[in-house]
Structure 1
Amino acid sequence: MNKLTLYSKGIDYSHIDGALVYFNEHEVGQAIREKIADGTVKREDIFYCGKLWNTFHPPELVRPALERTLKTLQLEYVDLYIIELPMAFKPGDTFYPKDENGKIVYHETDLCATWEALEACIDAGLTKSLGVSNFNKRQLELILNKPGLKYKPVTNQIECHPYFTQPKMMQYCKQNDIIIVGYSPLGTSRDPSWVNLKNPPLLEDKLLVAIAKKYNKNTAQIALRFNVQRGVVVIPKSFSPKRIKENFEIFDFFLTDDEMRAIEGLNKNIRFVELLMWSDHPEYPFHDYY
């Protein structure tokens, strides 16, 4: 079910977190155009985030990658365009290029050169703002300290939830006016191909269950409220209209200071999305503490 169809169900869902490698930009673009055409929304009501994939890091490929997204969406611009991962793969049309042994073929990464090409995309009117995803402090500093920097990253999209509260990254980004966008704010799916199944399911945590009972909410709503209340933008994923609606119903209550501290105390530095299959990449971001 496309997110924008939720407008017709009375749910104001306007932040769309997209990416070329989600393979749904055509459908999302069609939904946006349909809702604009029938008067449900205006283009300025929609906040679309696109992502630069790993095979398009070379500067000469950055703008064509964004233009490809815009052509598929049939939009003139995106509101935010971010580097999806700091790790470059071999350039080309194969998103996951592999050698004869089935291993991903890496490419030398120059994040500053990639960033300069992205800055040119703002000047060309193709995106309103720029950000990054899964960057650690060192990688953020490469961008922030780049000579001649024109546009700072406005966001860092990272895994963030009660089992992985990211206090150091939160502090660093706040000092540099970078907004944290938290993915997997409810934990994540239990897909063994990319998720560490040794980690316990977040939404079954006893503390979250107890607090949810107090407020007549579910544990997902408590986890989302926790992040929102500490200034994190949350992008929960669901295919269920009922659950998507519930994810909005977090603005009619406040967690107390004691409850916020208790949930912060759940932090186990558990990263569900480890991406260990790329851990030997020179720019693999998760070797650093933050």
Structure 2
Amino acid sequence: MKMKFFRSALQTNQTSVSEFVLQGFSDLSWQLQLFLFVFFLVIYIVALLGNSIIVFLATTSPSLHTPMYFFLGNFSFSEICYISTTVPKMLVNFLAKDRSMSFISCAGQLYFFSLLGVADCFLLAIMALDRYVAICYPLRYSIIMRWRLCIELAATSWIIGLMVAFGHTLFIFRLPFCDSNIINHFFCDLPAVIKLACGNTYGSEVSVFLAGVFAALIPCLLILFSYARILGTILRMHSVGGKQKTFSTCASHLISVSLFFGTAISIYVCPNSSHSAESGRILSLLYCVITPFLNPFIYTLKNKEVKGALKKLLGSK
């Protein structure tokens, strides 16, 4: 029912464009495109396997039934869906001559990409707040981070993603598209689609900026606040071992946050004139493909609990 309403709403924009063509990396040589196909296929498979393992361990391992790994499981599940919204179509376009995408399919891709991107932003902020409570208020941690609150926080991230993505996609795809239908990108991204719209797109560009501020800067400020308080607590610790253990626990999350927010803010919050189409595609690859690929390694290589649960799983098998 919702999809029918979504489709009918988009089809009232009197546009003459029925499909889009994703230019992607078509300007590269065939040999280089074939190499990139194999390269990104391997990255995609590893990202799916790595994040699936984290979701499985967070769900089945009793030692990981804590708020920290509950949020990490949600985040890894989101990353599986996130990378799957863009990479499969990109891989097909490396080999196919026809790089077209229907109007509704493009809108659907942008919708799910926005939904998962916004959810990721807020999940990362919640994970930072969880570490803040665990490190700064260890004796009250179980009281503050009760399971009902954890479920509500995770659900709120997904609900905000649904609302922002629906409103954003509906607003953009109700604009008329009259002339060119060639998207200079490897997926239907917000700035690339807006450039093809006819007439005055100022309102749409303001919408992208405001959504970027809401979905990126607000969670980023929450993360900065959390880690500023965490840093203050670490500096007051007398035990060197305690400092190292606490910093090691937070370092993986900081790496993931830096990769994700750094590239996302540069595209959706900074002006479009600040980077070319080519640099925009490279930045998009960082947060669409590379970040989901690296996250399983970031959260497991220095995480004794996850490595212990994985060893138990492999040992039992």
TM interval, short-chain normalised:
under 0.3
Larger RCO (alpha carbons 8 Å, 6+ apart): 2
What's the TM-score, normalizing by structure 1? 0.26
Q: Which structure carries more strand by proportion?
A: 1
What's the TM-score, normalizing by structure 2? 0.25
Q: Which has the larger radius of gyration?
A: 2
